[in-house]
Structure 1
Amino acid sequence: MKTLCFEIGERYCFEFDSGTTSDVIKSYVEMREIRKKKKHTTK
């Protein structure tokens, strides 16, 4: 199990067994897009 952490404004950590770093970054980008959308939608 590897953990990849990096900070861009906030700290993000990912754990992954298989899969390359590019997969982790891809999932990070997707998560960041989802978070952006959530911030824009007000209830």
Structure 2
Amino acid sequence: MLTGEKRSPINRIRNAFWTGGLSNQLTVIEQVTYLVIIKRLDD
């Protein structure tokens, strides 16, 4: 189970997507995956 120190950043990311209009959790995971891949390609 996630503790408070690990849960806080995850909740901030989820809230950012929620306020941006993405409420489906699968869509959020997909978008985060794209962002990670793009970041890795950029490095």
Match of 1:22 in 2: 26
| Root-mean-square deviation (Å) | 2.1
Identical-residue share of aligned pairs (%)? 10
Q: Normalized per residue, which structure has more strand?
A: 1
The yes-or-no answer on 1:37 pairing with 2:41 is: yes
Higher helix share: 2
- Unpaired runs of 5+ residues, structure 2, are 1-8
Q: Which runs of 5+ in 1 are unaligned?
A: 7-11
- Secondary structure of 1:15's match? helix
Aligned residues: 30
Q: Structure 2 length as normaliser, TM-score?
A: 0.53
Higher RCO (CA < 8 A, seq sep 6+): 1
- TM-score normalised by L of structure 1: 0.53
